[in-house]
Amino acid sequence: MQKGRILVVDDEIHMREFICEALRRRHLEVESVRDGPTALEALTQQAYDLVITDVKMPKMNGLTLLKNIKQSYAHTKVIMITAYGTIEDAVTAIRDGAFDYVQKPFAPDELMLRVEKAFEYRDLVQENANLKEQLGTRFRFENIVGTSPKMIELYETLDMVSSSKASVLIQGESGTGKELVARAIHENSPNRSGPFIKINCAALPDTLMESELFGHEKGAFTGAIKMVEGRFSLAHDGTLLLDEVSEMSPNMQAKLLRVLQEREFERLGGRETIKTNARVVATTNRDLKTMVRQEKFREDLYYRLNVCPILLPPLCERKEDIPLLANHFLQIYTKEYNRPIESIAEEALGALIHYDWPGNVRELENTIARAVVMCPEGRIGLKHLFMDEVEASPVLSFPSESKTPVTLWEIERAAIFRALQENSNNRTKTAEMLGISIRTLRNKLREYRAESVAC
């Protein structure tokens, strides 16, 4: 954790000294003032990373001070000190952008915990920003969050890929951010001033798909009452995203191949040859190479699409990004649902990190969105997270020791729980130890959970 400069604002001299002393003892750089106007004056003189302020003060109360700080110094975090039993002030403060609050009377450690969290959060955000800056000022991928080695690799690839107009194939499990990455490529490409057009190749039957991609002339088929442009035309000078490209029929695969090779096509029912310069980005959550081997996907088309391959890692392979992502979504959804939630409690964050996320970032996003809805104020706790409980809970409820396992099912269950215990609930190690796949382990745990619910 990097340290920061702290400003303490309180009209009571004893309180000011108590806080300053507690912070200095931990070698933090701290200054103090006695009221809001003086605090604002101090902020014009130099930057502070954190302001710790009382709510009830003469001249300007803490909530007004908070609003002023948030308006002019968005990066300065604010921790409020509220009087005992005044939860309304805390709620208002969090809604108005305070990072956290502490209620009087408090022990120095209680305050320190919050100060550390404020600095840690600032470091995380800073790290993400620095990393992106290091990757060059030319390309920025603001919406993509993550600082794990796999994400760094991704930013580097994106940096190279975006500047060209070559076709890109983005592969990754569902919810890993394929569409997000496709949009980022467009926004950083030479075609960025052009349109970004998307078509879902899984959703449409062949004839409709053809007309959607290439357009049709008036009278091309029953109901074609006027000429309609296809997505290839609409994406001219821009990017065309072929979502779930693996689901295209062999017939459509052949038609797509021709456009990619010759860069021209005809509308359905038309004779005119139309040129396209749309950049093609395709996504799939299937292993396209295997599909080629199984002759379910054309090899020539695969190579045409896969000029620049991008493989997005599942979230369980970059767990170090979970806190940053969770906080990113927390910011988004507290704003969207107007909820005064300040943070995610330690044990809830632990459970988020512990969980395997079969639905990847989308599942994490939905989990946080739901938690924000379910949590009226304060911190998001374990009870607000609705993940598969057996998998998510860092502490599993082990079957009681009193009964000796008899049936094969019971013996197996006991062995699995013992192995989990020995491996401190680490499922990867447990699966390895038992010689089963992580998927089998996950299914077994689900089975036990269903069983315990049924009992």
Ligand X SMILES: Nc1ncnc2c1ncn2[C@@H]1O[C@H](COP(=O)(O)OP(=O)(O)OP(=O)(O)O)[C@@H](O)[C@H]1O
User: Which residues of the shown chain bind ligand X in the complex (CB under 6 A)?
Assistant: 144-146, 172, 174-180, 285, 325, 328, 361-362, 365
Among candidates 393, 440, 392, which has minimal Cα distance to 415? Answer: 440
Q: How far is the CB of 285 from ligand X (least distance, A)?
A: 4
A 10 A CB-CB count for 146 gives: 24
Q: How many helices (H) and strands (E) does the chain have?
A: 19, 16
Q: Are 357 and 327 in contact (CB under 8 A)?
A: no
Measure the CA–CA gap between 375 and 381, rounded to whole angstroms.
8
Q: How far is the CB of 215 from ligand X (least distance, A)?
A: 25
Residue 149 tokens read as: 């080695």
Residue number closest to Mg ion, CB atom: 179
Residue 81: in which H helix or E strand, if any? strand 77-82
Q: How far is the CB of 150 from Mg ion (least distance, A)?
A: 19
Nearer to ligand X, 68 or 174 (CB): 174
Nearer to ligand X, 310 or 445 (CB): 310
Distance of CA 261 to the CA centre of its chain: 36
Cα angle, residue 296 at apex, residues 169 and 245 outer, rounded to 5°: 30
Give the one entry of ligand X, Mg ion, none that residue 54 binds, where binding means its C-beta sits below a cut-off of 5 to 8 angstroms depending on kind: none
Verify binding: residue 31, Mg ion, rule CB under 5 A.
Answer: no
DSSP letter, residue 238: S
Give the one entry of Mg ion, ligand X, none that residue 180 binds, where binding means its C-beta sits below a cut-off of 5 to 8 angstroms depending on kind: ligand X
Nearer to ligand X, 43 or 201 (CB): 201
Place of tokens 């919406």: 143
Q: Are 54 and 9 in contact (CB under 8 A)?
A: yes
Verify binding: residue 247, Mg ion, rule CB under 5 A.
Answer: no
Nearer to Mg ion, 281 or 372 (CB): 281
How far is the first Cα of the chain from the last one, in angstroms, to the nearest whole number? 47
Question: For Mg ion, what does the binding mask look like between residues 177 and 206, x meaning CB under 5 A?
Answer: -xx---------------------------
User: CA dihedral in degrees (125, 130, 132, 134; nearest 10)?
Assistant: -170
Place of tokens 């200095």: 24
Q: Are 190 and 165 in contact (CB under 8 A)?
A: yes
Nearer to Mg ion, 123 or 247 (CB): 247
Residue 178: in which H helix or E strand, if any? helix 178-187
Give the one entry of ligand X, Mg ion, none that residue 362 binds, where binding means its C-beta sits below a cut-off of 5 to 8 angstroms depending on kind: ligand X
Nearer to Mg ion, 114 or 178 (CB): 178
Nearer to ligand X, 33 or 170 (CB): 170
Nearer to ligand X, 22 or 315 (CB): 315
Q: How many residues at the interface with Mg ion, by CB under 5 A?
A: 2
Question: For Mg ion, what does the binding mask look like between residues 43 and 82, x meaning CB under 5 A?
Answer: ----------------------------------------
Q: Which residue stretch of 66-74, 173-181, 314-322, 346-354 sits at the interface with Mg ion (rule: CB under 5 A)?
A: 173-181
Q: How far is the CB of 283 from Mg ion (least distance, A)?
A: 6
Q: How far is the CB of 177 from ligand X (least distance, A)?
A: 3
Measure the CA–CA gap between 368 and 278, rounded to whole angstroms.
36
Among candidates 65, 39, 55, which has minimal Cα distance to 104? Answer: 55
Q: How far is the CB of 241 from ligand X (least distance, A)?
A: 10
Interface ranges with Mg ion (CB under 5 A): 178-179
